[in-house]
Structure 1
Amino acid sequence: MSEVINIDRETLRKLQLKELESLVYFDNFCKEHDLTYFLLGGCVIGAVRHNGFIPWDDDIDVMMPRRDYERMLKLWKQEESNERFLMLKTDGEVFTGNCFATLIDTSATMVKENQKNIDVPHGIVTDVFPLDGCPDGRLQRYMQYYHAMMYSLYISEVVPSKHGGLIKIVSSILLKLVPSRERRTKIWKKHEKKMTRYAFNTHKKCTELCAGPGYMRNEYPQIAFKEIVYHEFEGLQMPIPKGYDAYLKMAFGDYMQLPPEDQRVPHHDLVALDLEKPCNQPSP
C-alpha cells in the first residue's frame, strides 16, 4: 500500500510555481474565449493576505459561474489541442472520482491518495468549480441541497467520511444499491439537472454545489461575485470576486488571522510527486 509522503518547503514552493503555469494557461484560455472565472478559497486568501500562495498551500482552485463553466468545458473539448494541459470531468467516457472539472498538467506526476487506484493522468491538478444560483424559497433550497448531495455521491462514488456517521451509513447503502456505473451515471445526471436549474445571475444568492457537504450549505450574496477585480498573485494580476470580503468571511471567518502553526501544512495527501517526470511516461 502506498504511503502518504511529506513535502519539504523547497519542494512545495517548486510545486506552487508549477501550478502557477497551469493558472496562466487557464487564464489565457478564458480571456481568449471571454469566459468569467476567479480564484477560489485559499487562493483568494493568499492573494489578499500574501499577494500570492498561502505559504503552506499546495493547490490552486478556481470558480466560474455555471454558464461560463459549461461553456468552458464545451470549448475546451472542441478547440483545445495542447497535449500538456487536459481538462477532465467525469462523463460517460472518463471517471475522475471528482464532482467538478480538473485541469491536469501532464508534464509532471502527482498522485493523490484518494485517486491512486483511478485510471486518469496523475499530473498537477487545478480544480475548477461551478458557481450556482440559490432558489429563494426554503423548500426549494432544501431540495437543491438534496440533489447536490445525491449528485456528489453518485458522480464521485465516494462515501463522505467527515460529515457524521448517519451520512456515511446512508451514502454507503445508496452506493451498494446501485453497483452499476452506467446506472449511477444516469442518476447523477438527473440530479445535476435539477440542482442547476437556478441561474447564477437571476437570484439573490449563490452557492458551491460541487465543493462538498459543508460548503454547499453556504449561501453567498450574489452581488459578491457579480464583478471581478484584479489582485496581485505571485507577481501577476489575477481575478478575484469584487465582494471577496463578504465571501471569505462567510466561508472562512476571520480569514486575515493566521491559523495556529500546527495547521500551517499542505492539506492534500499525496502518495507520489515528481515535478520532472511527465505523468504519462511509463516507469523504467
Structure 2
Amino acid sequence: MNKLSELVKMTPQLLRELQLKQLDTLVYFKNFCDKNNLRFYLIGGCLIGALRNGGFVPWDDDIDVIMPRPDYEKLHKLWKEQKADGRFRLLKTDDEMFTGNIFITITDTNYTMVKANQTEVDIPHGLVLDVFPLDVCPDSRFARKMQYIWTMIYSLFLAQVVPENHGGIMGLGSKILLSIFRGKKLRNKIWRCAERHMTKYKLEENKCVTELCAGPYWMKKEYPKHIYEGVDYVSFEGLEMPCMSGYDEYLTMVFGNYMELPPKEKQVPHHDIAYLDLNTPCEEYDRKRK
C-alpha cells in the first residue's frame, strides 16, 4: 500500500508477480481475437522478451500489442456487440468515456493499478494491456507531414493534456489551443475530424505503415508494409503468440541489435505507478476514492 503522492517501488519480486498476472489479460484478448478473426501482433519489449527471454523482459511492466487499423476498429465494435466486458473491460475514449489515452486498453478489474498520469481519471484502474492501431503512411512527403499535424491535433484533443516532452513553441501552442477550445463536444468534433484525416490512406496505394498512436517518437517511424504481410509465432511465457513475419527487420529498424542487453541504467520499468494492489479488485479502490 502507498499514498498516491508517492510512486510504487517495484522490487524484482513485485514486478514478476505483476507480469504473471498480466498474462490473463493477454490470453483473454487473444481468445477474443481468434474467435472474431482479428489480427494482432506482439511488439516492442514484449516481442524482444519473447525472442531473448522466452517471455517478459525482466524489467518490463506491461504488455503491448498492435492491430492493423481495420481490425482495431472492429475490436471496439465487436467487443460492445458481444458484451465482452466483465472481469476484462475494453477502455476507449469516446462520447461515453474519457480515459486519458489515445489508444485502446484492456483492463483486468481483478486487481488495482493506478498510473501516475491517471490518478484523477474516472476509469476502472486495473492491470492493462495496451492495444495500438497500425496505420498507413502516405508516400507523398507533403501528405506525410500533414499526417503528423493531424495526429498531433488528434492526440492533443483526445488526451486533453500537453505531453510532458512537448516544451517550447509546441507546448505553448498546445496549451493555447486547449484554452480556446474548451467544450467537450467541440473537442470531440476536432479529434474525430483529425482522426479521419490521419487514417484516410489505403494500404494498397502506399508503401509503408506506422504507429500514429504510440507517441511522437513512434509516429515518425515508417515500416515497409511487407513486414506485416505474414504472421509468425513466438513463445511468450509458454504461450504461442503472433508477431509480424518480418519481426527481425522491424526490431532491427527500431532497436538495432535487439538481442544485446541495454545498459544497466536502462534496465528499469518504463511507467510511473502511483498505486498497486495485486490482492484487491479495482472497483473497491474506485469506490473508496469516490
Is TM (by shorter chain) over 0.5? Answer: yes
Q: Which of 59, 63, 68 is the equivalent residue of 2:62? A: 59
Q: Could you tell me which residue of structure 2 aligns to residue 116 of structure 1?
A: 119
Q: Could you tell me which residue of structure 2 aligns to residue 3 of structure 1?
A: 6
Q: Could you tell me which residue of structure 2 aligns to residue 155 of structure 1?
A: 158
Q: Which of 15, 29, 33 is the equivalent residue of 1:30? A: 33
Q: Could you tell me which residue of structure 1 aligns to residue 262 of structure 2?
A: 259
Query: What amino acid maps onto 2:58 in structure 1?
Result: P
Q: Which of 236, 241, 244 is the equivalent residue of 1:241? A: 244
* 1:40 and 2:40 matched: no
Q: Which of 230, 233, 247 is the equivalent residue of 2:233? A: 230
Per-residue deviation, 1:82? 4.3
1:72-99: CA deviation from partner (whole Å, max 9, x where unpaired): 1100011034410000110011000010
Deviating more after overlay: 244-253 vs 107-116? 244-253
Query: Distance between the aligned counterparts of 1:13 and 1:175, measured in 2?
Result: 40
Q: Could you tell me which residue of structure 1 aligns to residue 168 of structure 2?
A: 165
Per-residue deviation, 1:180? 1.4
* 1:93 and 2:96 matched: yes
Query: What amino acid maps onto 1:128 in structure 2?
Result: V
* 1:269 and 2:277 matched: no
- Greater than 6 Å deviation, 4+ residue runs: none
Query: Distance between the aligned counterparts of 2:80 and 2:209, measured in 1?
Result: 27
Secondary structure of residue in 2 paired with 1:167? helix
Output the TM-score relative to the length of structure 2. 0.95
Output the TM-score relative to the length of structure 1. 0.97
1:225-246: CA deviation from partner (whole Å, max 9, x where unpaired): 1111001110111011111122
Query: What amino acid maps onto 1:27 in structure 2?
Result: K
Runs of 5+ unmatched residues, structure 1: none
Query: What amino acid maps onto 1:264 in structure 2?
Result: Q
1:110-142: CA deviation from partner (whole Å, max 9, x where unpaired): 000000000000000111000011111111111
Query: What amino acid maps onto 1:246 in structure 2?
Result: E
Q: Could you tell me which residue of structure 2 aligns to residue 218 of structure 1?
A: 221
Matches of residues 200-215 of structure 1 in structure 2 within 5 Å? Answer: 200=203, 202-215=205-218
Secondary structure of residue in 1 paired with 2:282? coil
1:118–1:233 distance in 2 versus 1, CA, 3 Å: same
Query: What amino acid maps onto 2:86 in structure 1?
Result: E
1:138-161: CA deviation from partner (whole Å, max 9, x where unpaired): 111111111111101110112122
Q: Which of 145, 150, 154 is the equivalent residue of 2:148? A: 145
Percent of aligned pairs sharing the same letter: 52
Per-residue deviation, 1:248? 1.4
Query: Distance between the aligned counterparts of 1:111 and 1:194, measured in 2?
Result: 33
Secondary structure of residue in 2 paired with 1:107? coil
Query: What amino acid maps onto 1:157 in structure 2?
Result: Q
Secondary structure of residue in 2 paired with 1:52? coil
Q: Which of 271, 277, 281 is the equivalent residue of 1:278? A: 281
Secondary structure of residue in 1 paired with 2:242? strand
Is contact 1:160-1:171 (8 Å) kept? no
Is contact 2:46-2:63 (8 Å) kept? yes
- The number of residues matched between the two structures is 284
Q: Could you tell me which residue of structure 1 aligns to residue 133 of structure 2?
A: 130
1:192-215: CA deviation from partner (whole Å, max 9, x where unpaired): 011000134542100001011110
Secondary structure of residue in 1 paired with 2:216? coil
Secondary structure of residue in 1 paired with 2:283? coil
Query: What amino acid maps onto 2:74 in structure 1?
Result: R
Q: Which of 175, 178, 189 is the equivalent residue of 1:175? A: 178
Per-residue deviation, 1:11? 0.9
Secondary structure of residue in 2 paired with 1:265? coil
Secondary structure of residue in 1 paired with 2:240? strand
Per-residue deviation, 1:40? 1.5
Is contact 2:93-2:100 (8 Å) kept? yes
Query: What amino acid maps onto 1:192 in structure 2?
Result: E
